[in-house]
Structure formats: C-alpha cells, structure tokens
C-alpha cells in the first residue's frame, strides 16, 4: 500500500477515490486546476499539482511524484501518458525531455481508444462485442448526411467522436428535416453516426480488470458488480436502481458476462463503467464504456461490501479483491442513487440534500464544488432499503422536489440548444416504478380462481407485490417446470399454488425450486376436498409443501406474509397491524354479543 498514485482530474470521482484511499492510508496526489478541487479538499497530506489534466507539463510534473498514474476523467493528454509509460525521450521546444517511467492504469492505449467514441465502437466490434452500428462522417455536408441517413436508417444519433460528456455532443436526427440543425449544432467537431437502439432499459455494470494484458481470459481478468438500471434525463444520469428492476437473473448474468468480455479487450487495470441497452427482444448492446469509476457505480459505496473506488485502488496496487465482496451487502439490499444537480438557484441542490436528511436510509454525498451551475453534478444521495418497494417509497418526496427543481432549471435552459437535443430516452413513468413481485401465485385451473380471490385480496391489502398465473401440472407440465425453476432468480421469495383433486401442482412446483411453496387444497365435486388435501400435504421426505386448510387462500396469503416478515420489516409491520385488527374485530363482536344477547345477535351486521 506504499506506492503513490497520481490521479488526473480532481472532481467528484477523484474525491470518492480519495475517501477510499484515506481509509487504507494510500497516498494519492491529484492533478487539477486550482488548490481546492473536490478531491484535494479531503487530502491535506500530499502536495498536489495545480494544472490541467490536458497539459503535458502538468502531467509530467505529477508523474515525477508518483509510482502509478490513473484517471478520473478520460479527456486527458494520452501522448504524454504514452511517453511516461514507456520512458520515451521527447523534445519540448529545444529541450530534450526524458520522461520518468511510470505505470499508467488503465493503459494510455485504452484511454486513447475510448476517448474517440467511434474508435471505441470499432474496437468493440473487432472484439465481437455487440454495439449499435456506427459510421464515421468524413465530410460535414448535408449531402453526406443524407447518404448516411439512407444507409443507417432514421432515426439515428449524430455524435461527436471526442470530448463528449453527459450527453453534450449528441444530436438525435429523427428524420431528414433534422439534418441541418444537427450539423449546425455539432459542426465544429469530428462526428460519426450511430444506429438507433430501440431499447427498453439502460443497464450499467461496473467491471474491475485485474490483469495488464488485453484479450486475456475474461474470467481470469475481470470481476463484475451487480447490474444496475440507469434512468437518464436530458442525457444526464438521474437515477440508478441497483439491482436493476424487472430484469431476469439470466439477463443480469448475460449483462455481467458481456460487460466483462468487453472490458477484457482493453489494456491495463482498474474499474470500468459499462453502459448498455437492453432491447425489447432481450438482446444486449454496449452503449459506451468509461475507463474509470462511473456515476452508475456510486451505489456500491453503501450497497456492496466493497465500493467501485475500493476495488479501483486495489486493482491499481495489486491488492486482493475477494470476488464475493463485489456483491450486495446481503440478500435484502436494494438501493436507488439519485444525482443532485445544480438547479435554477445557486442553492437548489442544497434543498434536495436538506430534505434527504429526513429520509430513512438516505446517505448524502456533497462534493464540495463551489458554484452550482444548472445541471452540474453537485452531489448524490443513495437510499438503502430492504426491498425496492421500500426504497421507492422512501425516495418519493425527494423525486418530487427534484422534478420541481428540474422544471425550474429547464425554464432557465430553454434557450440552450444542447441540453435538450438528445431526447433519445424513455420518460420515467409510474409503470417503471412498480415493484417487482415477491410472491408468485399459481393455480392448476382457472376454476380455482374463486378460491384464490380472497387470498389475492389479502396480498393487496398487505401491499405485497405478487404475480398470478395458471400452470396445470397435467396439461402444461413444461410450463409448470419452467415457472418453478425461474421463480427464485426472478426475485420471487414465496410461491402459493392452489389445486384440486389429484392435486399435484404444489408438490411438483416444490420439487423444482428451493423456495418455500404453500399449497391450497381446492375442494372439488367429490370427497369434500379430502382428495386435494391429502394429495398436497402427504409429500414424501425431502420435498415439503406448506399446506393450509381446504379452500383457505387467505391463510395461504397470510402465511406468505409471515414468511416475508421474517426478513422484511415493512411487511412485518403491516402483518402485525393486520393481526391486531383481526383480534380487535373478534373482540368487538364479543362485546356486541354481550350487549345484544345471544338470541338477538345479528350475524350480518
């Protein structure tokens, strides 16, 4: 831990890296303009370098003091990084400069390729990584653009190859009539066109690379954090949900593998932020890659056992990173990260922070930036909870405030073309805020619906998110197997299965999952339900079904609530309230019977 790391850039990413370094007593030295940048503020031990991370002299200055150089922003001078990492001799005016040889992580080659978004896309395609088709623009003429539109299809994105940040430098060309405005806006930059990705969701995976070579075995060379879902507004990240909502475990695994394969193709060590699109057909496409800690990984500070900053440091220094420590703290960890952006007033962002002080489970990070320009990232808030539903509930008041701040900001920004140019993102709708089901209800036949109805009512009353479907053990055996096998990985925690007669459904479901399965015997036309009861309850050793009384779906629902309550405080509170009401209701009846007398007592009242 005694090697000194130089960081190009001293913004919020550098600051959070510095926090991690402070806890390990690792020496960081920051290069950025001014003595008081976010990361310099919290490290009084080092003599930092004052200057730009694009200025070769300043970078050489930093290198003199360090063993390893890394970046917190990719728009740096990579020529000098190349010199420094090889120790090349160069000439500055008339003087001969022999560069100190220092390790650059990730490699300057990686930073250089990623800096140019078109080169980045080409690199990915060369490595067999799916990404939207891209075509460079050689000539910024309307004619060229029209050809391009015919080739790549409308709508498409016109993007600046370099220097783009937080959506600045992107323009959505919806049809031929947008070409002139797109060119007017981005005329001075090197450009390329990118095919439109009709995505359902944007996902992001933080990956850490621990080996120097590119194209090494991705399984050896990389590890991935959980898959997060990102919500952008005006091309600026607004919210990050981790874990991603309503994304199956298999898609999440695919996303992690894709992100790791993509990162494995680059050179050098450290964390990478991988942003991707999930299309409606389930396909994943890489959007872009950042060779550094990333906004979509802030949630790891509170929600994971190690943060993206911890593992970046460890990767640079060659220290151990237990793969399990990249996971969530535990099974019940759900997080939402909300960026705090500068608003219309200079203190708009502080109002958001102020309000967050009153929210249970909210961790507040202010970056110590001076001036709060509209849209500038001033801080973020991470909300932790035991379920995504709880996290969303806690977030609600903040979201309202942020949306008001946002509206005020947009008012002020209406004359700025750039910010609103890219509307390439879905709106945050009520639907996407709906919680994922944690109870799956299934029945052998639609005739069991009436029996299940009161139980469904109780799940609703207790606000337990559930799914409901039909899976007949005998008529759709494959479907039933599939249902049982994928439930756990989809976030389901309890299954309720109702069936009658030779009622095999609950037992067969239990045979195909480790989840607790509750069986509801449905009374059929003969034997008064005894056939269903015995078919469900008399399971052989090794495959239990939690059986409730005949036709009693309410008890099945309440039992599911009891099970969830063992690890979900919100459900437990609602359950306890429900049980208390149940008691109160019988006591009231007893009181009424004592008042009215046994004979006058009216059952229907």
Q: Nearest approach, Cβ of 132 to a second copy (angstroms)?
A: 37
CB atoms near residue 253 (< 10 Å): 13
Distances (CA, A) of 41 to 7, 17, 297, 366: 14, 13, 22, 12
- In the complex with a second copy, the residue whose CB is nearer, 51 or 368, is 368
d(CA 366, CA 350): 9
Q: Nearest approach, Cβ of 561 to a second copy (angstroms)?
A: 8
**Stretch of 17-25, 146-154, 403-411, 426-434 contacting a second copy, by CB under 8 A:** 17-25
401 near a second copy, rule: CB under 8 A: no
- Asked whether 287 and 277 are in contact (CB, 8 A), the reply is yes
Considering only residues 520 to 579 of the shown chain, the ones binding a second copy according to CB under 8 A are 533, 537-550, 552, 554-556, 558-559, 562-569, 572, 575-576, 579
Q: Nearest approach, Cβ of 497 to a second copy (angstroms)?
A: 13
486 near a second copy, rule: CB under 8 A: no
- Asked whether 522 and 498 are in contact (CB, 8 A), the reply is yes
Considering only residues 267 to 326 of the shown chain, the ones binding a second copy according to CB under 8 A are 305, 314, 319-322, 324-325
**Stretch of 199-207, 360-368, 410-418, 423-431 contacting a second copy, by CB under 8 A:** 360-368
d(CA 461, CA 371): 48
449 near a second copy, rule: CB under 8 A: no
22 near a second copy, rule: CB under 8 A: yes
d(CA 382, CA 363): 5
- Asked whether 161 and 186 are in contact (CB, 8 A), the reply is no
Question: What binding mask, one character per residue, do residues 323-352 give for a second copy by CB under 8 A, x or -?
Answer: -xx---xxxxx----------------x--
Considering only residues 491 to 520 of the shown chain, the ones binding a second copy according to CB under 8 A are 493-494, 514-518
Do strands 494-500 and 439-443 pair parallel, antiparallel, or not at all (unpaired)?
A: parallel
- In the complex with a second copy, the residue whose CB is nearer, 101 or 253, is 253
- What's the burial of 562, exposed, middle or buried (CB within 10 Å: 0-12/13-18/19+)? middle
- What's the burial of 323, exposed, middle or buried (CB within 10 Å: 0-12/13-18/19+)? exposed
Considering only residues 36 to 65 of the shown chain, the ones binding a second copy according to CB under 8 A are 36, 40-45
Q: Nearest approach, Cβ of 271 to a second copy (angstroms)?
A: 16
Q: Nearest approach, Cβ of 354 to a second copy (angstroms)?
A: 8
- Asked whether 73 and 11 are in contact (CB, 8 A), the reply is yes
Counting residues that bind a second copy (by CB under 8 A) gives: 85
CB atoms near residue 280 (< 10 Å): 9
What are the DSSP E strand ranges found in 94-234?
A: 95-98, 103-104, 134-136, 156-160, 170-173, 191-195, 199-209, 222-233
Q: Nearest approach, Cβ of 89 to a second copy (angstroms)?
A: 36
- In the complex with a second copy, the residue whose CB is nearer, 399 or 515, is 515
- In the complex with a second copy, the residue whose CB is nearer, 292 or 314, is 314
Using the rule CB under 8 A, which residue among 348, 386, 436, 471 binds a second copy? 386
Q: Nearest approach, Cβ of 579 to a second copy (angstroms)?
A: 6
The overall longest dimension of the chain from CA atoms, in Å, is 113
385 near a second copy, rule: CB under 8 A: yes
| Bond into 307 cis (ω within 30) | no
Q: Nearest approach, Cβ of 369 to a second copy (angstroms)?
A: 9
**Stretch of 15-23, 103-111, 201-209, 336-344 contacting a second copy, by CB under 8 A:** 15-23
| Bond into 106 cis (ω within 30) | yes
């Amino acid at each position: 831990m005694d090697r000194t790391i130089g960081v190009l850039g001293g913004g919020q990413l550098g600051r959070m890296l510095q926090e991690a370094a402070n806890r390990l007593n690792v020496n960081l030295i920051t290069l950025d303009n001014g003595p008081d940048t976010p990361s310099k503020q919290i490290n009084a031990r080092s003599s930092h370098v004052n200057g730009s991370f694009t200025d070769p002299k300043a970078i050489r200055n930093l290198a003199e003091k360090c063993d390893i150089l890394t970046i917190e922003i990719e728009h740096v001078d990579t020529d000098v990084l190349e010199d420094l990492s090889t120790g090349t001799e160069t000439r500055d005016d008339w003087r001969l400069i022999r560069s100190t040889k220092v390790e650059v992580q990730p490699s300057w080659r990686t930073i250089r390729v990623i800096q140019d978004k078109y080169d980045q896309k080409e690199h990915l395609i060369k490595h067999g990584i799916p990404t939207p088709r891209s075509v460079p623009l050689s000539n910024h003429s309307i004619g060229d653009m029209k050809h391009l539109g015919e080739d790549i299809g409308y709508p498409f994105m016109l993007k600046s190859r370099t220097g783009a940040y937080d959506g600045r430098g992107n323009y959505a060309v919806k049809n031929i009539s947008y070409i002139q405005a797109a060119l007017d806006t981005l005329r001075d930059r090197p450009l390329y066109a990118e095919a439109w990705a009709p995505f359902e969701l944007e996902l992001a995976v933080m990956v850490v690379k621990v080996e120097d070579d590119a194209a090494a075995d991705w399984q050896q060379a990389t590890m991935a954090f959980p898959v997060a879902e990102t919500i952008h507004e005006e091309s600026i990240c607004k919210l990050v949900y981790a874990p991603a909502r309503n994304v199956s475990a298999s898609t999440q695994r695919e996303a992690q593998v894709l992100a790791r394969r993509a990162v494995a193709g680059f050179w050098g060590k450290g964390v990478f932020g991988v942003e991707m699109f999930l299309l409606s057909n389930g396909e994943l496409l890489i959007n872009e890659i950042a060779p550094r800690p990333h906004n979509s990984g802030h949630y790891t500070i509170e929600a994971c056992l190690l943060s993206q900053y911890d593992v970046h440091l460890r990767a640079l220094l060659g220290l151990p990173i237990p793969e399990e420590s990249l996971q969530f703290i535990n099974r019940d960890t759900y997080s939402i990260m909300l960026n705090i952006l500068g608003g219309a007033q200079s203190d708009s962002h502080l109002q958001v922070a102020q309000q967050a002080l009153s929210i249970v489970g909210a961790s507040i990070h202010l970056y110590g930036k001076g001036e709060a320009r509209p849209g500038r990232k001033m801080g973020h808030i991470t909300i932790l909870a035991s379920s995504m539903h709880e996290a969303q509930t806690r977030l609600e008041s903040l979201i309202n405030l942020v949306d008001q701040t946002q509206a005020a900001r947009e008012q002020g920004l209406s004359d700025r073309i750039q910010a609103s140019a890219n509307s390439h993102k879905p709106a945050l709708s009520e639907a996407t805020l709906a919680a994922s089901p944690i109870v799956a209800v299934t029945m052998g036949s639609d005739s069991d619906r009436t029996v299940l109805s009161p139980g469904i009512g109780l799940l609703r009353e207790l606000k337990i998110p559930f799914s409901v479907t039909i899976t007949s053990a005998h008529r759709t055996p494959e479907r039933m197997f599939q249902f049982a096998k994928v439930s756990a990985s989809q976030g389901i925690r309890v299954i309720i299965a109702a069936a009658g007669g030779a009622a095999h459904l609950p037992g067969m479901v239990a045979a195909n999952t480790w989840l607790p399965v509750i069986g509801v015997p449905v009374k059929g036309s003969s034997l008064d339900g005894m056939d269903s009861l015995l078919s469900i309850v008399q399971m052989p050793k090794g495959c239990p079904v939690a059986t409730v009384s005949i036709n009693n779906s309410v008890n099945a629902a309440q039992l599911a609530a009891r099970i969830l309550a063992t690890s979900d405080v919100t459900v437990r509170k609602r359950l306890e309230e429900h049980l208390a009401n149940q008691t109160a209701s019988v006591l009231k009846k007893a009181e009424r019977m004592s008042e009215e007398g046994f004979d006058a007592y009216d059952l229907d009242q």
